[in-house]
Structure 1
Amino acid sequence: MTSIAELMTHDHRSCDHDFARAETLANKKDWSGASEALETFAAGLEAHFQAEEQDLFPRFEAAAGMTHGPTQVMRGEHVEMRASVEQMRAALASRDLDEFAGEAETLLILMQQHNMKEENILYPMCDMHLAGQRDALVDALAHRLAPEHAA
């Protein structure tokens, strides 16, 4: 039986793989390939955010009675990461490798810190507070995540 933490952590790794592919192609100055890879990454990342913001966080907040805690912090970080992806798109559109690399480094640091907080704190709390609805919730989350990230 898959836990919330296992499912969402697996999806983090899938997003990381997509991100690395976009970076590799940009470094080769394969602009169209990098743009395509960035869009794959962005779609997977947005699907992950939507799964959290539409399903996981509201259920956790209802079960834990906590609306101004870790989920509020995570939503704020999602906003920052979405803005960073937009900057990366703009850098690719203008074929500015230095700008892309700088923004990619910023996003990588944001993602690493964000994922550590989710994987070590929030997801285990979700598994604990949502144990009674875990199977249905894991199914709902899995249907929102990018299909190509399925285990």
Structure 2
Amino acid sequence: MTIKEYMTQNHKECDEILAQLENAVENNNWNKAIELNEKFKNETLKHFDIEENYLFPMFDEKASTGGCGPTQVMKMEHEQARTVFPKIEESIKEKDSDRFFGLSESLMILIQQHNSKEEQMLYTMIQNLFNDENETIIEALKNYEFN
């Protein structure tokens, strides 16, 4: 498995949890929605954390970007997504499915566009730069601790 494949698979896993969350809300299973929302938020934030605190700094250093360029844009998009999580949580607590679906659709569009850029451009660049260290990096990604 490559770094790009690993990170892309993680995107798919987060997408699947969001789909399960949407199904729970659609079925008015609010207890399940609370559980799935927490799982979705934690998995997505862990993914962001892996990128922001491990992959992106490594890339920026080796590519000599100075923290500017593609990783800066990705971090800004992570911040946009982070602002939606509390609103989604609130909509679930209020059992407001209309508000939930408006927010989840907006978040899904943001995340899909974001993931597409990462998968097509940034992960390819990271893979090319660190291909010789692929196994070591994959092991680090698998064992990444998120608090």
Q: Give the TM-score normalised by structure 2.
A: 0.94
Unaligned runs of 5+ in 2: none
CA RMSD of aligned residues (A): 1.3
Q: Counterparts of 1:48 and 1:37 in 2: how far apart (Å)?
A: 16
Q: Which runs of 4+ in 1 moved over 6 A?
A: none
- The CA distance in 1 between the partners of 2:133 and 2:61, in whole Å, is 12
Partner residue of 1:134?
A: 134
Which residue in 1 is equivalent to 2:102? 102
- What percentage of residue pairs aligned between the two structures are identical? 36
Count of aligned positions = 145
CA distance in 2, matches of 1:144, 1:99: 34
CA, structure 1 residues 105+145, in 2 after alignment: closer, same or farther (shift >3 Å)? farther
Mark the CA change 1:25 to 1:115 in structure 2 (over 3 Å): closer, same or farther. Answer: same
- Give secondary structure in 1 for the equivalent of 2:68: coil
- One-letter amino acid of the counterpart of residue 18, structure 1: I
Residues 1-151 of structure 1: pairs in structure 2 closer than 5 A: 2-66=1-65, 67-144=67-144
Structure 1 alignment gaps of length 5 or more: 147-151
Which amino acid in structure 1 is aligned with residue 129 of structure 2? H
1:149 aligned partner: none
TM superposition score normalised by structure 1: 0.92
In the alignment, the residues of structure 1 paired with residue 26 and residue 100 of structure 2 have an alpha-carbon distance, to the nearest angstrom, of 9
Q: Give 1:133 deviation, angstroms.
A: 2.3
Cα distance in structure 2, aligned partners of 1:11 and 1:145: 15
Distance 1:60 1:132 in 2: 14
Deviation at 1:144, TM superposition (A): 2.3
Letter in 2 for 1:134: N
Asked if the contact 1:74/1:114 (under 8 Å) is kept, the reply is yes
Distance in 2 separating the partners of 1:145 and 1:38: 20
Query: Letter of the aligned partner of 1:110 in structure 2?
Result: L
